[in-house]
Chain A
Amino acid sequence: MLARGRALVLAGALCLLAAAGPARADEAFVTNQQSDDVSVVDLETATVVATIPVGGKPAGVAVSPDGSRAYVTSPEGKVVTVIDAAARTVVARIPIEGGPVGIVLSPDAAWLYVADWFNNAILVIDTASNAVVASIPVGRAPAGMAITPDGRTLLSCDRDDDRLSVVDLATRKVTGTIPVGTHPFAVTIAPDGKRAYAANVMSNDVSVVDLAGRREITRVPVGDTPYGIALAGTRAFVTDQHADTVTVFDTGTLQTVATIDTPSFPEGIETARDGRKVWAAAWGDDAFFSIDVETLEVADEVDVGTGPRAFGAFIRRTTSR
């Protein structure tokens, strides 16, 4: 009884603290493929504040825009895990037949799109029911995806076909393909929806794609084995996995601005909501780090689980602002 009473008092005190305290920092949900879990990193203090067991070799992640849910793909476990992001608990498991890797949410969070690496399809999941409701055939080994800000169009990196598939999300059909460099793995769309940038892991460059014209404009050379792209202001930050660098190029001039040494095997990368830092997973060093977009130097580095991938939208807002 006594212990229970204390717990209640403590819980009450914590509620008061939470209500009166300052706005909390954003977080990152970092998938650790080899340790089978997700590290939750507080981005203000750059510390791990929670570890959520997931299983099945988690790789892809999509955090909902309101910060309530994190969806994680486990290609070996053949499952998408639904996490209550605030409670740090697994609330559902969605079985997937093939090898779920890439994952992206529609801007309104109503639909979840999962790339099936082995069956060459994008699966459509209704987030209200967590049921797979459709399968959209695309090219071989679909990996990263991105959706235009208007929510109408999805791009899929058809890795082994060296192209992007353009999917109309209303009809759930491929309406075209765009040839890019060799083995595109990740794609990022500019906030204005006009351009897409695809990281070509085998040709060591980034394809700059004009979305209205549905064509590749040019390729920007980057470091060895580019794996992810984050846009911050007028710059693109590209993780060069084998070079242990991030290449920064200007999206206007398409000229390289800097090549920044980073922890080993940088992979998934995303821009902080305030635009001041980009955050990335370093698979080789079991680390998660940031780069200050002004100084172009590594600003934070935190140890996470083993083999972090953070492939997708991993930053979570913790407030409504």
Chain B
Amino acid sequence: MKSLLWALVAGAVALVPVVAEAHGPTRQKIEVTREIDAPADKVWAVVSNFQDLSWIPGVKSVEGSGSEVGATRTITLENGEKLVEKMDKFDAAKMMFMYRAEADNIKFLPVTNYSSRITVKDAGGKSTVTWWGAFYRGYPNNDPPPELSDEAAVKAVTDLYNAGLDGLKKKVEGGS
């Protein structure tokens, strides 16, 4: 019964246009922070390169060019799913940038209307990196299935940020 319901839901979702269109009524946000034992400018140099996601586990490739506002990147995961992201805001002085998904792909990440912000701050010679995300759940209508619920969306993005920042910490502190 559950698999039948899931199949119906998946079918309904597949009919939804891929551009950021309809979404649920409750936007979610999460924030994950890591302290990294390296100067802020060194950490900033790594995270602000919009075309390098080698620090995030599970990313197979990134295609695109530039880190300026308007730059896009196509991320391909090891499972083959793709997401296109676009730089919205880039402030080197504040060591902050903001970007958003150009279109939803709930198989990449079970969210819609996803936007994100990464900030690096000096913490007495070390750095504090904050990864912030805003998004709606994957299912745009009422009564979502558990796989596309608010909770599932929050968990998926939280897991991504935790794994990504752990990878960033390892890359920067390891000096690679």
Contacts and interface: CB of A to CB of B under 8 A. Distances in A.
Contact of A160 (B22, B27, B150): B22
B26 A75 contact: yes
B146 to A, nearest CB: 15
A117 interface: yes
Contacts of A99: 24-25, 142
A265 B26 contact: no
B29 A34 contact: yes
Contacts of A34: 28-29
Main secondary structure of the interface of A (DSSP, over half): loop
Interface string B26-68: 1111000000000000000000000000000000000000000
B88 interface: yes
A265 B134 contact: yes
B21 interface: yes
Interface in B61-82: none
Interface in B132-153: 132, 134, 141-142, 150
Nearest to B25: A75
A160 B22 CA distance: 7
Contact of A118 (B21, B142, B150): B142
Given A242-B100, A242-B115, A33 B88 contact: no
A138 to B, nearest CB: 15
Contact of B29 (A75, A118, A140, A307): A307
Given A118-B142, A160-B21, A284 B98 contact: no
Interface string A216-254: 000000001000000000000000001100000000000
Given A99-B142, A243-B89, A284-B134, A57 B100 contact: no
Given A57-B26, A307-B27, A224 B141 contact: no
Contact of A59 (B20, B25, B29): B25
A267 to B, nearest CB: 9
A160 B113 CA distance: 14
Contacts of B25: 57, 59, 75-76, 99, 101, 117
A57 B142 CA distance: 13
A78 B26 CA distance: 12
Interface string B99-141: 0100000000000000100000000000000001010000001
A265 B29 CA distance: 11
Nearest to B26: A57
A141 interface: yes
A140 B134 CA distance: 23
Interface in A266-309: 283-284, 307
Interface string B135-176: 000000110000000100000000000000000000000000
Contacts of A76: 25-26, 150
A193 interface: no
21 contacts: A33-B26, A34-B28, A57-B26, A75-B24, A76-B26, A78-B142, A99-B24, A99-B25, A99-B142, A101-B25, A117-B25, A160-B22, A202-B20, A224-B88, A242-B88, A242-B89, A242-B98, A242-B100, A283-B27, A283-B29, A284-B134
Given A99-B25, A242-B100, A284-B134, 12 more contacts: A57-B25, A57-B26, A59-B25, A75-B25, A75-B26, A98-B142, A99-B24, A99-B142, A117-B25, A118-B141, A160-B21, A160-B22
Interface of A: 33-34, 57, 59, 75-76, 78, 98-99, 101, 117-118, 140-141, 160, 202, 224, 242-243, 265, 283-284, 307
